[in-house]
Structure 1
Amino acid sequence: MTSLSGAAVLVAEMVALLLAVTFGVTLLQSRLGDETIRRWMGGPPRRAALKGIAVGFVTPFCTYSAIPVLVGMRQAGVRPAGYAAFIFAAPVVDPVLVGALAIIIGPAGAAVYVTTAFAAAFTLALIVDKVDIAPHLKPVPALVGQPAPPVRPTVPQIPSPPVSCSSPEEALWAGWQTESRAAWRRALALLRSMAWLIAVGVGLGLAIGLLVPTDALASIAGADNPLAVPAAAAAGVPLYFGTELFIPIGDALHAKGVGTGSIVALVIAGAGANIPEFALLTKIARGRVVAAFFAYVFVVATVAGLLTDLIL
């Protein structure tokens, strides 16, 4: 993202994905109900974590467009192991990213990366499930009705008469046309609440992209730097790289003398943790959780880069 046209494309992409994913998640949640989603994503912590990773892998989105899915999981009452595994896996275990890695470093190297990222997401999800993370999360924007009760329900309460306060379980499916209009309104409401965050994040990312040329990145992550891989991962965090740009960016940096491991670390960090995503994550989580998430992506990117240099 190094031009106004690139920033405009990114904004359009973020808005389109946010609307589409929120609309789809809201419609699915209305149709199935929270109880069904909790049952599908539930089970013991390990099983819930595996389900979350599976959903994260088959969801080919960056973190900013995975946020509506995360909001839906939290509202449905999915246990922490499930939604934590999802958000940990979504940005770093992406089918497009894995395919690009297979082309650049070979299937064996891509398999090592997937195994490492899987183990990291699985382990951290179990840790999140053990600790009390609730105080560090912000109330989720309601996609359907009101937020669901905790995973371990207490004595059920008698539902209130007003229809506007009914829970998703109590509400009847009103038909595709009615529910689609309601889902679209929810999607627009979520977009309005996050629009300024998108603008700030993209603006900062554009400024950094314009001020940090490719030559500067090459000097930071060049082969003569013994800390090239972690330096490349750190440099990638403020930037934004869509996974579909992995190979073109890699070719440009490689021509400047940047090592393959550093390129892998730079692009994974840029795709999985960047300023636009940081801005959106602050909407649903407090500072410590956001910082921990970025540290996780940084570590995964660094390990992937080091493994690449080790294998090649």
Structure 2
Amino acid sequence: MIHAAQTFGLILVELLVLFSLISVLVALANRRFGPDRIESWMADGHLPGPVKGLLLGAITPFCSCSTLPVLAGMLKSGVAFRTSMTFLISSPLLDPIIVAGVVLLFGWRIALVYTAVTAAWSLLAPVVWERLGMASQIKRVKVVGDDRTSRPWAGLRHEIRPALGEAWSDLRPLLVPMVLGVSVGACIYGLVPQDQLVAVAGDDKPWAVPLAAILGVPLYVRIETMLPIGLALSSAGMGLGAVFALMIGGAGASIPEVSMLTAMFKPRLVVTFVVTVIGTAIAAGYLIPLIA
């Protein structure tokens, strides 16, 4: 029990410091450029649109559900299908908080493989979707989103204070899930017998990765919350591939998100999206242990 409490305190402090610093940087970037300018940037320039969608997804710390109002705005603004879908897949999986958290908890090699797999899948999947005719599966309906507008940049000295406020607003809803996630992780690490987890999802179980990927989808969790739980599961004996399959499945798609997507997508595209997330989770689950 003492060991579990020590693990809880250490991981919680590390994650709070990390999330706070990166949230401030992201808030400053959002205040500097604004959503209108970002949409314009995605439509113009020399970079391919999907690469822009990937980069936008990588710098926006959105969970799967909060990605959807932005996606709706992109589609209404005429952003290309591939670009929009790349953003949809990458946003909940590749933001800097997640990547930094994977580095912190699992090491840079695993973080590198995680980033490479999710980025490649985010770019390739929309190409396949488009060739399958999925661009015609977008519903022409209005989805209510954020009313944020671009603000004039007043200089770093004047912007840092409101950026801190925005960062706190972004971090505050995560505090309870973060504490709960770290608590569950610490309890698993300190109390759950290792042999029970190994028996179900150890490295030698061929079904562990696809089973974890499928079971992750019904969970509605931000991957930041799953990181400490994933570390605890891995430390307690669960296969590393199954851990990441569970985290990606849970963060990339969820029941609330899928239900919201039915207002924007026709059934074929909804099913294709879920299958793609599960495929990403399985691919990462098999590749990460090979490199790690």
TM-score by length of 2: 0.64
What's the secondary structure of 1:108's corresponding residue?
Answer: helix
Output the amino acid matched with 2:288: T
Change (3 A) 1:311 1:127: closer
Change (3 A) 1:111 1:133: same
Matched, 1:108 2:88: no
Shift of 1:270: 0.9
Matched, 1:253 2:253: no
List per-residue Cα deviations over 1:133-188 (Å, max 9, x = no partner).
343121231659xxxxxxxxxxxxxxxxxxxxxxxxxxxx9x99xxxxxxxxxxxx
What's the secondary structure of 2:66's corresponding residue?
Answer: helix
Change (3 A) 1:255 1:121: closer
Shift of 1:64: 0.5
5 Å-filtered alignment, 1:230-309, equals 230-254=210-234, 256-309=236-289
Output the amino acid matched with 2:142: P
Stretches of structure 2 lacking an aligned partner (at least 5 in a row): 1-29, 153-187
What's the secondary structure of 1:63's corresponding residue?
Answer: coil
Change (3 A) 1:52 1:283: same
Partner of 1:125: 126
Output the amino acid matched with 1:259: G
Contact 2:42–2:52 (CA under 8 A) maintained in structure 1: yes
Contact 1:75–1:142 (CA under 8 A) maintained in structure 2: no
Change (3 A) 1:252 1:74: same
Matched, 1:93 2:94: yes
Shift of 1:223: 4.0
User: What value does the CA root-mean-square deviation take over the aligned residues?
Assistant: 3.3
Partner Cα distance (1:261, 1:250) in 2: 10
Partner Cα distance (1:132, 1:304) in 2: 26
List per-residue Cα deviations over 1:6-48 (Å, max 9, x = no partner).
xxxxxxxxxxxxxxxxxx9xxx67xx4xxx7764222599711
Partner of 1:221: 201
Change (3 A) 1:109 1:252: closer
List per-residue Cα deviations over 1:233-291 (Å, max 9, x = no partner).
11111112322223331244246531222111111111111212111111211221111
Change (3 A) 1:109 1:122: same
Contact 2:113–2:288 (CA under 8 A) maintained in structure 1: no
Partner of 1:182: none
Shift of 1:67: 0.3
Partner Cα distance (1:291, 1:218) in 2: 32
What's the secondary structure of 1:90's corresponding residue?
Answer: helix
Change (3 A) 1:217 1:285: farther
Identity of aligned residues (%): 36
Change (3 A) 1:82 1:261: same
Partner of 1:157: none
List per-residue Cα deviations over 1:186-223 (Å, max 9, x = no partner).
xxxxxxxxxxxxxxxxxxxxxxxxxxx99998764244
Output the amino acid matched with 1:277: E
Output the amino acid matched with 1:238: P
Partner Cα distance (2:45, 2:276) in 1: 24
Partner Cα distance (2:197, 2:263) in 1: 30
TM-score by length of 1: 0.60
Shift of 1:51: 0.6
Find the structure with the greater CA-based Rg. Answer: 1
Shift of 1:56: 0.7
Partner Cα distance (1:242, 1:277) in 2: 12
Contact 1:48–1:81 (CA under 8 A) maintained in structure 2: yes
Contact 2:89–2:252 (CA under 8 A) maintained in structure 1: no
Partner Cα distance (1:235, 1:128) in 2: 24
Change (3 A) 1:253 1:74: same
Output the amino acid matched with 1:284: M
Partner Cα distance (1:235, 1:45) in 2: 40
